[in-house]
Structure 1
Amino acid sequence: MIQIAVFGDVHGNLPALEVVLKDIEQRGIHQKFCLGDLVDFAPWGNEVIERIKSLNIPCILGNHDERIAFDLPVFPLAKHSEEETKARFIAIDHSKKHITEENKKFLSEFPFHLKLNYKIGNKHWNIQLVHSSLESNDTYLYESENDEVFTNMLEDSKADIILMGHTHLSFTKQFENKKWAVNCGSVGRSKEANRLASYAILTLDDEKIVPEIIQLKYPLEETALQIDESGIPDYYASFLRNENVLIL
């Protein structure tokens, strides 16, 4: 049996990341992978990057990582309110100003996606990691998508399971061919009502893969207070407190 921990969408939230890393360690899981989006919306972008770097955790390129690494322009999203649009521009500009050049370079070197192969007995398991999809790191795929969306991705990647993030909403879906699509949720900026830090554990043996979503409490109010005291808009503290009207 092998266990693998997969997490992503930390978004500068170091307290949430530390709780997740501690839980993974306490479970004795050594294989860890990150689905990207280390930065934006909480004040510890550099510290989160340094933590991932110090632990040598393989990480793929999230859309926020890419924007900060390459100083890409920010465009408003139709789904966002005027308030969120304004806050988003300010928060991303904060990251562009405060993430160090060394850490921007580190982000710029992330692979776009990763394919893993684990052998247990005579069985090879193919595991595909993406931020949001095979073609894009900025596509919103929800649990409600037609199954064909995910089975096509599995077929294209020749994978037994595909793990993604980006939407900040966790789910596990198994299909008739016994293959899986899993969204790990978000470590640092969950859009689920409970606002818990979320990640996934895969348990592999020579017959099956079993995914499990783990959700953990972290010092959310302390984190929100730190956002209030930073140059990041208070909108994101209110978001963690679940005070905003959420548009998915």
Structure 2
Amino acid sequence: MKSVQIAIISDIHANLIALKHVLADIDQRGISQIYCLGDLVDFAPWGNEVISLVKKRGIPCLLGNHDERIAYDTAVVPLEHHDAIETANRHKAIAFSKRTIHLDNKQWLADLPFNLTLTFRVDGVSQRVLLVHATPDSNEQYVFEKDDKKRISSDLIGKDIDVLVMGHTHYSYIQKESDILFVNCGSVGRSKEVDRKASYTILTISARGVEAEIIKVDYPVNEVAQAIYQSEIPDFYADFLLQS
């Protein structure tokens, strides 16, 4: 049966090394369509380089909450799930991005769309995939696997959406709710999962429906941590990557 495969990445967070390993894995699989759900910047030294690579590869990208903050120089709002130590380090890391991301890259980020709907027609059957950074309504809301998704499902069914793919939480999962396939593709550059591997999603789209697979990619985490230690970014973010 005929099918189409696409790869979806998210939450690179300036980790160029992880991004290169993920793109190499996607290329090795022969997948030509790649989409990014945003958060290209913050927490590693290569914000400009990550943006340049995404632009060079022509990867359609959404505006993540971190991208939005850098593009528009908005204030850093404390998060309930962060303690005082993480909050202080977060302020320093984001300030580094605001100082160092080039003006043309800030403008490019500012021009990114909030979400993207893809319609695939395979063997006469249409499948509609909605790409968001966090949720269809917010770039800041967290939707974890354990969370109730009935309201979101109802809204998506009303809009003829078959699949919702999101990032933001840095935890990957695949879940079916009321005939809607929910997929969180995890994080390329700052996974919060125990293995700390770079994570992304492959969707296989056919007349029978859409199948999702979470892919985990090894990369030299220690090399990234050492680069953070040698930069102005707080050591907190290197220490985090080395925890497993």
* 1:231 counterpart residue number: 232
Q: Secondary structure of 1:117's partner?
A: strand
Q: 2:201 and 2:91 mapped to 1: Cα distance? A: 30
* 2:197 counterpart residue number: 196
Shift in Å, 1:153: 4.3
Structure ranking higher in strand proportion: 2
Q: 2:199 and 2:208 mapped to 1: Cα distance? A: 26
Q: Which structure 2 residues correspond to residues 160-239 of structure 1 after superposition, within 5 A?
A: 160-177=162-179, 179-239=180-240
- Give the partner amino acid of 2:243: N
For residue 68 of structure 2, the aligned residue among 63, 66, 69 is 66
CA contact (8 A) 1:13 1:44 kept: yes
Shift in Å, 1:101: 0.1
Shift in Å, 1:151: 1.3
Shift in Å, 1:75: 1.4
CA contact (8 A) 1:128 1:157 kept: no
* 2:109 counterpart residue number: 107
Which string of whole-angstrom CA distances, capped at 9 and with x for unpartnered residues, describes residues 159-218 of structure 1? 1000000000000001352x3000000000001011000000000111121100001110
* 2:80 counterpart residue number: 78
Q: 2:71 and 2:148 mapped to 1: Cα distance? A: 33
CA contact (8 A) 2:172 2:183 kept: yes
**Unaligned segments of structure 1, at least 5 residues:** 244-248
CA contact (8 A) 2:150 2:177 kept: no
CA contact (8 A) 1:190 1:196 kept: yes
* 1:136 counterpart residue number: 138
Shift in Å, 1:155: 2.2
- Give the partner amino acid of 2:99: K
* 1:43 counterpart residue number: 45
Taking only aligned residues, the RMSD between alpha carbons, in angstroms, comes to 1.1
* 1:246 counterpart residue number: none
Aligned residues: 242
Query: CA 1:153 to 1:240, structure 2 compared with 1: closer, same or farther past 3 Å?
Result: farther
For residue 30 of structure 1, the aligned residue among 16, 29, 32 is 32
**Unaligned segments of structure 2, at least 5 residues:** none
- Give the partner amino acid of 2:128: N
Q: Percent sequence identity over matched residues?
A: 48
Q: 1:176 and 1:141 mapped to 2: Cα distance? A: 16
* 2:89 counterpart residue number: 87
Query: CA 1:149 to 1:237, structure 2 compared with 1: closer, same or farther past 3 Å?
Result: farther
CA contact (8 A) 1:34 1:59 kept: yes
Q: Secondary structure of 2:204's partner?
A: strand
